[in-house]
Amino acid sequence: MSEQEKSATQQRIDNAVYGTPKIKPDEQRKYLGTFRERVCLTISVQELQEQDWTKALTAEIKKGIGNLVFINGNLPHNKIRPYIQTATHDNAQFTLKTDPEYKTDPSSLAVVIAAKTAVYQSPVDVKKRYPELTNASSESQTAENTHHGFFHQLFHRKERR
């Protein structure tokens, strides 16, 4: 048996025992089973807990670049249910990733929208890509307007008299 045949045979045995080796396994683990160059949008576990990002999901799917939605299935169902419904409503393909390698700590990803081929989108973080949808900015604006609105109305009424 030649050395080349032996190495091919040994590789088949190794693949049968250990599984087929993955390309960039850490990257695939981070992005719920896909490669970074295919990613259009990411929502972390922390961002998912802070607010509802279904509008961002819909906007990204309607762009038509990426229509594959990967959802971390290790998260509580009540947290991921709106994203499953949105993906279904927007005719996107979604996959629940429930392998133990997909973690649920705040920095892990909860939702990833990707394309079938490389698209090289940047930025992909939902807060950077859709800053107008963040609750923090709208809450601070509302608080400022409420505070300013009261005094404005108070003094504005006196000016009318």
Residue 36 has pLDDT above 70, yes or no: yes
Looking at the fold, whether 103 and 151 belong to one and the same domain comes out as: no
* Paired sense of beta strands 68-72 and 93-97, if any: parallel
Per the model's pLDDT, the better-predicted residue between 46 and 146 turns out to be 46
State the pLDDT confidence band at 97, using cuts at 50, 70 and 90: very high
The CATH number assigned to the domain holding 30 equals 3.30.1330.30
Mean pLDDT of the chain: 83
User: Which domain does 136 fall in, by range?
Assistant: 130-161
Residue 43 lies in a domain: yes
End-to-end CA distance of the chain: 104
Give the Cα-Cα-Cα angle 81, 87, 92 (nearest 5 degrees).
150
Q: So what's the pLDDT on residue 151?
A: 55
Looking at the fold, whether 78 and 56 belong to one and the same domain comes out as: yes
* Residue 155, burial from CB neighbour count under 10 angstroms (0-12, 13-18, 19+): exposed
**Whole-model pTM?**
0.73
Residue 144 has pLDDT above 50, yes or no: no
Looking at the fold, whether 59 and 122 belong to one and the same domain comes out as: yes
Q: How far apart are CA 1 and CA 154, in angstroms?
A: 94
Number of domains forming the structure of the chain: 2
| Structure confidence by residue, pLDDT tens digits, 105-123 | 999 999 999 999 999 989 9
**What percent of the chain is modeled with pLDDT above 90?**
61
Looking at the fold, whether 135 and 84 belong to one and the same domain comes out as: no
Per the model's pLDDT, the better-predicted residue between 74 and 7 turns out to be 74
CB count in 10 Å sphere of residue 28 = 15
Residue 113 lies in a domain: yes
Q: So what's the pLDDT on residue 141?
A: 45
Q: How far apart are CA 136 and CA 14, in angstroms?
A: 51
Phi, psi angle pair for 74, to nearest 5°: -85, -5
Query: Are 129 and 44 a contacting pair, CB within 8 Å?
Result: no
